[in-house]
Structure 1
Amino acid sequence: MENQLCLFSFEEILNASTTGFIVCCVPSGKGDIDSGNMSCVFINPTAQKLTGITESTGLTQRSIFGEHINLNTLDVSGSLDFKFEKSGVWCRITKSSLGGLFLYTLNDISVEKQHEVKLSHFQKLSAEAEETMEFGSWIWDLKTSQFEWTEGMYKLMGYRSEDLPLSKLDSSTFKKNIHPDDLEMITGKLRNILSYTDTYVLEFRIIAEDGEEKHLYVKGHNTIDEITGHPISVGTAFNVSMLREIQRELEQKVSDLNTSNADLEQFAYVASHDLQEPLRKIVSFGERLDTRSKDSLDEENHLYLDRILSSSRRMQNMINNLLEFSRVTSTSKLFEPTDLNEVLKVTLSDLEVSIQNSKAKIEVDKMPVIDGNQTQLSQLFLNLISNSLKFTKQNVDPVISIKLSDVPETEVIKRKLVGNQQYIKITVKDNGIGFSNENASRIFTIFQRLRGRSEYEGAGIGLSVCKKVVEGHHGIIEAYGIPDQGAVFEIILPVNQN
């Protein structure tokens, strides 16, 4: 082995090294080694590549390192990270004294510097995200009670990182800012933090150092520090104060709206109910007057009386429809297994006379049992079938089909229905006068009529009742029409009400 080593000179070994070596000496008669004018007596190929030097003769320390290097720092610390202008390479330079000579060792740290730059950018982005989204993260050493906070956590708690170094950060610092009303609850939960095997969530209030009260939403988990072996808890705290304020406002508005709706429903019911009696009297006495004075009234007065009776009866129908609409809104949403076959059987029985008089043909698929309110579902089918029987074409026998189909998962997603739920689709189709699809959005609006009262009777409430019933069952109802060819109503209902 010694013989093999003797085959290579020391200079040859240095020239073959992947580490850069530069040897300088103080020129004869000059004792100032900080002048940068030391002569280069040796530079290996690696050092030439790292520094970008192509000509090695007549080199000085300053010509190699350039004017911008801080030689004093290198002299004091013995080491310096430096980027050479010519090559653009980052090197870690170390300086050693060899008697009257000085050895500079150069190691390429470009990859390390790239990682540092990326880390710096990432830290900057993280800090900006924390500031924008108002959150911060922390690591809690459960053995030593020491904390580490990100910059965002300092801001959440109202501190500056320079005023509260890591050495002063511990669990007592954190607890100091917890709102007094939440302190006991949070302290109890933190006391048992080691028992949390899964991700844990805490929500509480703090009073930051600047006096601002904040709602924090904390999500964390426990693990083991790979370096110390200590159990640690890692978590992130979000400032949800604005969300909680919005939530409170929404809850108050919902409460106010519910109260207002209840008052309106009660008013509609009472007003409609109280109007019934005087209208009944108007109609009753009007009919008596019509009977007794039929021969004594002239044609003009008889016309007036007919119009009074006609308007009174129309008002009665409107009030009855309003009462029906009010009952749909106010009826308790108690759902129970409901056989739709029985619902349709009873509905068709109620409409038997109208069906016979119009010579209508009704085609009905076998229906399932679903969770529903039987009374309201009866109203749904009664109004839909009555609508088809009403808007028929002259000299054409009505044909009404009530078909059942499944709702595929793709349609559930497309219509943004609740997933993991079975739905059915009921299609009610007729061959009546139809309507333009431009009016489809209006057809379910209360008191909206697509045809004049002189052509077809009705108050424009029936389909509004249908919409309320379907939506009360967490479903969807849509209408499609073709003028003079018929109308189609599609109802999608969940099988189970969860």
Structure 2
Amino acid sequence: MQELTRVTLQNEMDLILAHKRSMRLAELAGLSLSAQTTFATAVSEVARNTIDRGKNGRLILMVNPDQREKYIIAKITDEESQTKHYEGLTYARRLVNKYNISFDSKETAIELYFEIPVSTKLDIQKLDEWKKIFRNEPAVSPYDELKRKNEQLQDLAQKLEEREQQYKMLTNALPIIIFTLNEKGELIYANEWLKRFTGSSLQQLNTTHWKDIVHPDDYDSFSVLINNQQLSATRASAIKTQCRLRHRNEDDYYWHMASISPLNDESGKLLYWIGYIVDINAQKLVEETLKNNHELKEAQRQLKENQIVLETNIKELNRSNQELQQFAYVASHDLQEPIRKISFYSGYLLDKYKDVLDETGLSFLTIMLSASKRMRKLINDLLAYSRVERQQLQFKPVSLTQIAQEVVKDLELLVSEKNATIQVDELATVDADEGQMHQLFENLIGNAIKYAKDDVPSVIHINCKPIDDQLQILVKDNGIGFDEKYLPQMFALFQRLHSSEKYEGTGLGLAICQKIVSLHNGKITAQSQEGEGATFIVTLPISHSSSVTQEKDWLANGLPEYKPAHK
């Protein structure tokens, strides 16, 4: 629907205007005189009811240019939200083709639809022509003339207010101080940045003439901007100066560029001055440093060369690291077959030929078989560690409760053999790699079972608690424990606190846990006392942040270029 004109409904004079303009719209739409009168009468009936019983009513005349059904529409609204019976509508609805009533918390709206001939041409050009007719239609009375002028003034005032708000929003959005001065050099407007920086209002700055803000050594040059005699005498297109201004919360002064330009009317008379103040502290610091230190350029050049060398070394280190990972994977994989054969034939000899071997031979074969098993375990752990380094992480929501329960089920034989009890509380869901979470829980639970006391059934409790945007996972056991002074070496490669004769292992299990947690941007530590059990604490971000990807990019492509931050 296209709006053509509107009339405020406040008194009987407005009712006359409503009737006249309704008649005019019906005439433009090609309706007969009787149809014009019928439509205008219906509009007048509802408009009279709105004037008598409504509040801040108005009439909006519109047209529906649909090709199948064309209507002229009168929409009468008021700010009284009510469902009471409208006396005027009872008669008006019999005069129009259809009507509609709507209510909300702000207003009541009645729409009267009057059908017009389908042959009537209603394109954009025609509608613009109708709008122009209503806009330029001569006033029917002095009241109409005054009403139009008043509405124009109200529209103008609203547009001015909107533009003023837009101007304030724009100036407040810009990261510079923007202000205006009158002929006397007094502030008449400033955006929010001025008070944010100085902590002073416009009145305070006008009273103190900025003396509490501007550095004493720079005040004479700055005072040109606010000196009314100098401003009146100058004919410059712009006045600029550099000065130091004190921040509201600090005793330090920061360099700024201050500039003002005159705004004149058409006759050349000064209206006011427009100014801005820009922070140039970083630029001044660089200039002063360059002036006082001739070796800076050489240092910058050397720093750049060092950075290039550093980036080259990082790339070379990454390449070597990747080659080492590949070598560890390939070497471990290729060692599987000979170790398997050594283990197989050693076991075969012990099984088939133990009766023909002396005690020394049996001892050697037993030692060989045990060593081959430990070697195979070490190779498998190396492969596991290598896979942690090599595989691409696939982050997605992972239920740690489900992961822990699956691991407990996988370790069912070991749990039964050790007569262990594992309690898994309801855990949270985090963004993580599902496979690596499974390996993490498998290593931690297996570690807790391995270091159980000989004469005490193993009891393991797994729970978690949120801390800000992170999740802390605790795996607590009642095993042999350890002295916390050995904590740093526990997560290093091939480090063991106990002999392999009593406790099997390669010293890679906790190192793998450390690597998995590190790749998830988390931390792992433990608390324990000898003979009192241990609690391993894993802290992971609940939602995977971009810092992990950024860290991997830095390692792959070199460190980012250092850029000093401006205070």
Q: How would you bin the TM-score normalised by the shorter chain?
A: 0.5 to 0.7
Residue number in structure 2 paired with 1:225: 260
After TM superposition, the score normalised by the length of structure 2 is 0.46
> Quick one: distance in 1 between partners of 2:217 and 2:260?
23
Q: Does 1:479 align with 2:526?
A: yes
Distance 1:225 1:402, change over 3 A: same
In the alignment, which of 511, 515, 519 is matched to residue 468 of structure 1? 515
Q: Which has the higher helix share?
A: 2
In the alignment, which of 392, 399, 408 is matched to residue 348 of structure 1? 408
Q: Does 1:326 align with 2:383?
A: no
> Quick one: distance in 1 between partners of 2:437 and 2:481?
24
After TM superposition, the score normalised by the length of structure 1 is 0.52
Report matched runs for 1:427-466 at 5 Å. 427-466=474-513
Aligned residue pairs, count? 286
In the alignment, which of 335, 340, 345 is matched to residue 275 of structure 1? 335
Residue number in structure 2 paired with 1:405: 465
SS, match of residue 474 in structure 2? strand
Report matched runs for 1:128-277 at 5 Å. 224-225=259-260, 229=273, 234=278, 235=280, 236-237=282-283, 242=300, 247-277=307-337
SS, match of residue 525 in structure 2? strand
How far residue 341 of structure 1 moved from its aligned partner, in angstroms, is 1.6
How far residue 340 of structure 1 moved from its aligned partner, in angstroms, is 1.0
In the alignment, which of 290, 293, 296 is matched to residue 356 of structure 2? 296
Higher mean C-alpha deviation, range 327-336 or range 423-432: 327-336
Residue number in structure 2 paired with 1:37: none
Distance 1:146 1:463, change over 3 A: same
Distance 1:145 1:405, change over 3 A: same
> Quick one: distance in 2 between partners of 1:486 and 1:455?
17
How far residue 226 of structure 1 moved from its aligned partner, in angstroms, is 7.2
Q: Does 1:385 align with 2:432?
A: no
Higher mean C-alpha deviation, range 395-404 or range 331-340: 331-340
SS, match of residue 370 in structure 1? strand
Distance 1:487 1:230, change over 3 A: same
Q: Does 1:364 align with 2:424?
A: yes
> Quick one: distance in 2 between partners of 1:288 and 1:452?
28
1:132-162 Cα offsets, whole Å, 9 max, x none, are xxxxxxxxxxx97998789xxxxxxxxxxxx
> Quick one: distance in 2 between partners of 1:303 and 1:346?
40
Distance 1:278 1:148, change over 3 A: farther
> Quick one: distance in 1 between partners of 2:441 and 2:307?
39
Residue number in structure 1 paired with 2:376: 316
Note if contact 1:222-1:231 (Cα within 8 Å) is conserved in structure 2: no
How far residue 430 of structure 1 moved from its aligned partner, in angstroms, is 0.4
In the alignment, which of 536, 539, 545 is matched to residue 492 of structure 1? 539
> Quick one: distance in 1 between partners of 2:369 and 2:356?
18
How far residue 316 of structure 1 moved from its aligned partner, in angstroms, is 0.7
SS, match of residue 474 in structure 1? coil
Residue number in structure 2 paired with 1:373: 433
> Quick one: distance in 2 between partners of 1:457 and 1:403?
27
Gaps of 5+ in 1: 1-113, 124-142, 151-218, 410-421
Report matched runs for 1:59-74 at 5 Å. none
How far residue 360 of structure 1 moved from its aligned partner, in angstroms, is 1.0
> Quick one: distance in 2 between partners of 1:227 and 1:433?
84
How far residue 334 of structure 1 moved from its aligned partner, in angstroms, is 2.0
Residue number in structure 2 paired with 1:82: none
Note if contact 1:220-1:233 (Cα within 8 Å) is conserved in structure 2: no
* One-letter code aligned to 1:387: N
How far residue 406 of structure 1 moved from its aligned partner, in angstroms, is 1.6
> Quick one: distance in 2 between partners of 1:397 and 1:288?
35
Identity of aligned residues (%): 37
SS, match of residue 457 in structure 1? coil
SS, match of residue 383 in structure 1? helix
> Quick one: distance in 1 between partners of 2:305 and 2:239?
33
> Quick one: distance in 2 between partners of 1:303 and 1:388?
32
> Quick one: distance in 1 between partners of 2:333 and 2:542?
35
> Quick one: distance in 2 between partners of 1:380 and 1:221?
56
How far residue 253 of structure 1 moved from its aligned partner, in angstroms, is 3.2
SS, match of residue 452 in structure 2? coil
> Quick one: distance in 1 between partners of 2:416 and 2:255?
70
SS, match of residue 394 in structure 1? coil
> Quick one: distance in 2 between partners of 1:356 and 1:458?
20
Higher mean C-alpha deviation, range 221-230 or range 438-447: 221-230
> Quick one: distance in 1 between partners of 2:312 and 2:474?
40
Note if contact 1:436-1:483 (Cα within 8 Å) is conserved in structure 2: yes
Residue number in structure 2 paired with 1:186: none
1:243-266 Cα offsets, whole Å, 9 max, x none, are 655554443333222212111111
* One-letter code aligned to 1:258: N
How far residue 232 of structure 1 moved from its aligned partner, in angstroms, is 6.3
How far residue 225 of structure 1 moved from its aligned partner, in angstroms, is 2.2
Note if contact 2:239-2:259 (Cα within 8 Å) is conserved in structure 1: no
How far residue 121 of structure 1 moved from its aligned partner, in angstroms, is 11
SS, match of residue 440 in structure 1? helix
How far residue 222 of structure 1 moved from its aligned partner, in angstroms, is 8.7
How far residue 331 of structure 1 moved from its aligned partner, in angstroms, is 1.4
> Quick one: distance in 2 between partners of 1:122 and 1:272?
76
> Quick one: distance in 1 between partners of 2:430 and 2:437?
11
How far residue 350 of structure 1 moved from its aligned partner, in angstroms, is 0.7
* One-letter code aligned to 2:478: N
* One-letter code aligned to 1:378: H
